[in-house]
Amino acid sequence: MHETAVAQSVIETILAEMRKIDRRPVAARISCGQFNALNDEVMRFAFEVAAQDTPCRGMRLEIRHVPLQARCEGCGRAFAFNIQEACCPACGSEAFAFLPDAPLLLEEIEFEDESNDEGVSEQADPGS
Ligand SMILES: [Zn+2]
């Protein structure tokens, strides 16, 4: 179980960013792959514990699970691997190679903004 270590490192990163821009953090989004997957419930709890007595207390935490990607050797298309349907969704080929698993990543920190402008950049989700 590595959630505690992850939570501590996420909090440290958020605090470092917070010092740079001098605004209060309100939410964060982390993403993980399939081999370093976080347990959402354990992670939220670990984050809450690590955030206590810091300005991160009460922050929202979003955990995004990134599916394993594979690349078709027939048509070259990259797709989210689905064990129920283990073939290329474009050409149906069963010859494909797995791409490296997504890293554990702090994708985004949302800070309080006086101008009430969300300023949140949403990434397109290729996994859906
Ligand atoms: Zn294909």
Grouped pLDDT means (10 residues each) for the chain, 128 residues: 92 96 96 94 97 97 96 97 93 97 96 66 52
The confidence score (pLDDT) of residue 123 equals 52
> For residues 77 and 96, what is the distance between their CA atoms, to the nearest angstrom?
9
Structural domain range at position 80: 3-111
The confidence score (pLDDT) of residue 87 equals 95
Residue 96 Cα to ligand 1 midpoint, Å, equals: 8
Give the CATH number for residue 64.
3.30.2320.80
Residue 76 Cα to ligand 1 midpoint, Å, equals: 6
Per DSSP, 54 falls in state S
Does a structural domain hold residue 116? Answer: no
* Residues in Cβ contact with 115 at an 8 Å cutoff, skipping those fewer than 6 apart: none
The confidence score (pLDDT) of residue 113 equals 81
Write the DSSP string, 68-109. Answer: PEEEETTT--EEE--GGG-S-TTT----EEEPPPPPPEEEEE
- Alpha carbons within 13 A on the beta-carbon side of 58: 6
Does a structural domain hold residue 118? Answer: no
CA of 83: how far to CAs of 10, 67, 94, 125, in Å?
31, 11, 12, 19
Per DSSP, 24 falls in state -
Does a structural domain hold residue 126? Answer: no
**Ion ligand 1, residue ranges at CB < 5 A:** 72, 74-75, 77, 88, 90-91, 93
Domain count, the chain: 1
Does a structural domain hold residue 117? Answer: no
The confidence score (pLDDT) of residue 4 equals 96
